[in-house]
Structure 1
């Protein structure tokens, strides 16, 4: 009997192959990790052993899959009961782990809705956020414009109110919307009639796509009023019918076409070109085409190369990149989201996908790749939108890459991969020394990286001292980063832009000297003569001469773009901080015993928080519901 070989003496590659050989012949999900324990790839399989073995049974050479396999240090697997479960788990892990060799769509379920409140006289409004069961929500809509257009239609046809409840509760006469026949004015006693509730019901049915039922109901009510000789009421309903008919005509709703049957449909069109992809999602809700939204995934080239080479299971070698991108979008987008019963797609997709979505949504989900009639028109519109969106993206990226290359050439910077070239830009903003705030924005991979933006509240300096503010923000930003860079666990930017001339550059130079950082990283953007746009010059901290790039320089356009973004980010943060300090609203909200009702009474009585702060204890106590003790607490907090 031979002795067991100690585990620590086994080659890691041999251990990995032994794990592959021991995998079960069952469906599941697998994850590959590199030596730094970063996830490389997440995949699903109906037969784990056969699927995973295919990666290691042949030499993939210098292909992308070969590069990935060469980096695999370990793997993890999870066995599931069915392929549908594997599909859902795979995409949960893709969204959570962000693997480099998977197609990844940005997690954006922040769709707007149209909301009808649960008020006695409901309000129609635009809404985005968590739902509240007291209200009714219609959508989702692809964009804010589609919601606002629907609200305008409801105002025109059904005359529902759009005002806030605080305005509604304090009006003594109808507003201008009532005068132009866009609201029936339930804010005043004359407008609080049973007809308002009827109009709310009609609006809800209209949004659900029951347009013919709404028309029939209105016509019956008009005839009933006419028979009772109530000609004014009949004329009002007649006007509603006329307005609704015009809306339906503009929407081109034909009850004999597919539109009449398809009340809730998503149309998905995909295009792949130049290593980039676009999925255009168009929405039909309540039988009305609401518009579309384009999505652009990451890692398309890497992921499609891996999938195309993977012949053992899942997508076949003939599966097009378009199909792979579309399937990735459908699983990730509809994961834990509302799925309509019909999905019209530009590419045939795996039937397993519809099965998994049906199981998740609790209702049958059907996919259709070759529609006819109205559905075909919808798909052609979505395909055209995908073509235009992808062409626009490629054009913009080409322009941005050209700008990045122009800046590298102008600064004589050597960079093996210009996509990794990183710029961090700083700006200081305040109002006469009040609420000073610094911003840091990041440019990398030829675009602004908004998720890496940071704001810094500047404290302990003389108001208006921009040099001290710049010293503070650079010290806070780079003191820890410099230590991490020396240990190899962090990365400094390739360029640090500061919005200012010699003074700001000198301040940045002193900070970098204290931290032991390379002075050649620092570049100041100095305003030109008369502070005219296009005359800016670049100032260097390492003693190089100033550089004027030229008014039409692509490099200057990039510098100006980054500088302006830093300024925008700083000034918006400063204004928000200043408003918070000046109004003191957070202080009033934090007073124990002050809820929304009492706060509204105080603000209405004194005309705002500043008026409350200027009031005496006795004046505050004179407000209904505010006792002496509470008034003293309010006065103490605000002072």
Structure 2
């Protein structure tokens, strides 16, 4: 990529966390990376000196750059891992192994065990994560074991096994009055030699509480921890009170799971759309086995007055065909189930909603990037698009080529002043800026001050036979708007200029 192309691309990359992809001249991904700040990270590759020959070779083969924005650096790490496994880029040697991030599993069994694993087995067990930090997993599991004693042995505790009493005597499982009595050998720490008595009902209740923690619902556990902390404090046991306080702090700072990867999101296509008067912008995210494996942005130039719904429908059909997606579930703002053979989800909350919001965030940034490119390459076209959009949004008869804006102020009720700033063809016309000292008003009277400055401004414009603006914008609500209109009426300019008040 030459310097000019890079500078243009860099100017549009956001300073947000995300993942970037480098493509060669054959449109093949040669490198995938993550970044806390996409603009800074990508620009670092194009310095005068290179940290290694590998980096130099990589940069010399970069022909295009694409990126996707995510919510956090942790999400970027997870997405990077997923995409590298999917595309196996040439320069991502270190991440080509089969390493996957661990999950916390609540096993589907009587008296469920809780442990971390890299394998997701579809046997009805529940998985939470994945986690990018082993310290986080250890903290969580330690916290859970301290709050709710959970068994750690892998003995078969089925009803049939307990009744048959085939386990060793040391297990000593007894069924008594509907309750299961379990030795500390099987619940909590192995070093605990005391028997721990718990009913199956109470154990299930503990598991429910653990699930709430793993989902990020910490209020019940925090309440319990605070009670423990106060109890230790009353006993003057400040060492243990401090340990509990630290656990509360860990709970406060902990993020339960990633918004990018979730085991609940399986084989889904996600689409979102954003449009203006002339163009539509569409983002596509593909989720496979709970992970984002592909993202794609499209810009469409409108030919007629096509609706977002019509454009998105055409784009969904086209992209799914080109990218060979057979996913049976589609998340998007509209329901096309009668036209496309798939289940459509219009999410209101939960993981599906988060995924749609991520797509919307990326399509909004994609639009901004496109407009920035136009602004750099063709500033006149950029200004025309903005003015045409203003014309339609404000229902004006013509595009507001000439705009004048007014504001007034005072210092603690005295020395009232006003200012007028001017925009021509979407650009500031600083030579036309004017500052006014209010002459006829004493004290703080914004309405009268606004009327005076508008009257003086256009009285002079008429006298000097200068062009009138297409649009006047007044800083203020209905009172200031009426004052400005009153001034124009005195000059016989009412109904000749559109006036807008911004409260």
TM-score by length of 1: 0.24
More helix as a share of residues: 1
